[in-house]
Amino acid sequence: MKSSPDSAAPFPPTNPAWLKLDLYCKGIRLTEGCLPQDTHGRPILRTRAGLGSGIELILPEELWTNVPVTEPFAKDSPYELVRRREEFFVTHNGNHCVDVRIPERPQWYDKTTRSGKRMDRVGTLQGTYLAIYPAAVCDYWRESPKANCRFCSVGLNLGHDDAEEKTVEDVLEVVHAARAESGITYVDFNTGHYVGETYLDILEPMITRIKRETDLLVGVQTPPHHDLSRYDRLQAMGANRVSFCFELFDQATFERVCPGKNREYGLDRYLRAVEYCAGLSKKGTWKQPWLANGEIIAGLEPPEASIRAIDWMTSIGAVPTVCVFRPLQGTDMADEPPPKAEELAPVFQRLYEACMERNLPIGLAPNIHVSLVLLPDECRFLSSRPGSLARKEKLRQWKASAFAAQFYARRKWRDRHTPPR
């Protein structure tokens, strides 16, 4: 039976980008045999940049997602994950919607590093890339009273799901295992705030080693360092992406939701860093690409503010990363309602269209599927004017194929000429 659309929904639930967005907002109910321990899927963790908590699924068109299951609102979801022998599908209001796949839990998760840490406590796959939260918990969580961002769960998790101290050696061992066994192409480092702005000092030795020993693309997400020349240095050592989470474009909402960030840095400093790093894009090459991202959370401020943020970022050459607010259990905002997908759809439409209008390099890096955000290129399925952007979309897809071809050609050459570890 075909799924019947919600009367207010602007897209059918079979539209993969709409489904990804609607699942973020409504969650999913799991039926018998769908828990990760029954499916060899990845465990449900609360960690991962403070906004992830759910089950990882692969939707049609290779859209990876992380769907809320433990938050109370998921119990009322019209979506259900159903298992039929070894196959899985999503139903909507009881009707078949789409077939999905469940990404397997990598075998290297259960291995240990030479210092005895379980590898999945050093880094985990988020979608298809390796995510590492390399150091101690964000200092906003250590203050009394706490100054953490109110949506964030990072301080609730570290020490439970993550190892406390990760050495450069630990990280490199996990990076090599994930590259060899999971075929990753990208490593993402994410830190919170550390007194003394030590985040780049901690990351640089890890980045240097990864770039020396592998062909992986590397990105960092940290607060904005006061010394902007540190980003030139980061680029020179081979980093490929910097991302700044300013979360909100509306000043008053930023102050209310992110008290620590507001006190230590202020919204303006975040925006200056995004702009400075976007200016470094001209030094990027096909072999050594460079991208500046600004990250916001949709659903915590009016959609118009999110759209203004998108328009500002794309106008300076930065690519927006847009998360969807998830009221995670245990956080200060746990009792807030999740956003409505109908209200957020224009934000994600604008995300794709603004990037395409400015010819920004979206969706080019190979094998990067992100489960926690709806990527700009994935939002093409929501576009209100696919016809007028068709030529640009074709060119974008051609560039993505060309980038992947040269990346994997170099990987093949490298593997042939590198002695096994």
**Residue ranges binding ligand SF4 (CB under 6 A):** 50, 138, 140, 148-149, 152, 154, 192-193, 261
Closest to ligand SF4 by CB, 3 vs 148, is 148
Of residues 96 and 150, the one with the C-beta less far from ligand SF4: 150
State which residue, 136 or 239, has the beta carbon closest to ligand SF4: 136
Min CB(258)–ligand SF4 separation in Å: 6
Between 143 and 215, name the residue whose CB sits nearer to ligand SF4.
143
Q: Are 351 and 308 in contact (CB under 8 A)?
A: no
Q: How far is the CB of 51 from ligand SF4 (least distance, A)?
A: 8
State the nearest-atom distance from the C-beta of 266 to ligand SF4, in Å. Answer: 13
Amino acid residing at 80: E
Task: Between 91 and 148, name the residue whose CB sits nearer to ligand SF4.
Answer: 148
Q: How far apart are CA 361 and CA 121, in angstroms?
A: 32
- CB-wise, 188 or 378, nearer to ligand SF4? 188
Q: Taking the mean position of all CA atoms in its chain, how far away is CA 321?
A: 8
Q: Are 273 and 225 in contact (CB under 8 A)?
A: yes
Quickly list DSSP for 346-383: HHHHHHHHHHHHTT---S-STT---SSS--TGGGGGG-
CA-based nearest residue to 325, from 352, 313, 343, 350: 343
CB of 150 to ligand SF4, least distance (A): 9
| Shortest Å, Cβ 328 to ligand SF4 | 11
Q: For the CB of residue 127, give the shortest distance to ligand SF4 in the complex, in Å.
A: 19
Q: What is the torsional sign of CA 131, 134, 137, 138?
A: negative
CA 130 to the chain's CA centroid: 11
Strands 124-126, 129-132: pairing kind: antiparallel
| 309: number of Cβ within 10 Å | 25
Residue 117 C-beta: closest distance to ligand SF4, Å: 21
Query: Minimum distance between the CB of residue 255 and ligand SF4, rounded to whole angstroms?
Result: 13
Tell me how far apart the alpha carbons of residues 146 and 141 are, in angstroms, rounded to a whole number: 5
Nearer CB in complex with ligand SF4: 82/154: 154
DSSP-based helix, strand, coil % in the chain, nearest 5:
40, 20, 40
3-state secondary structure of 113: coil
Please say which residue, 102 or 152, places its beta carbon nearer to ligand SF4.
152
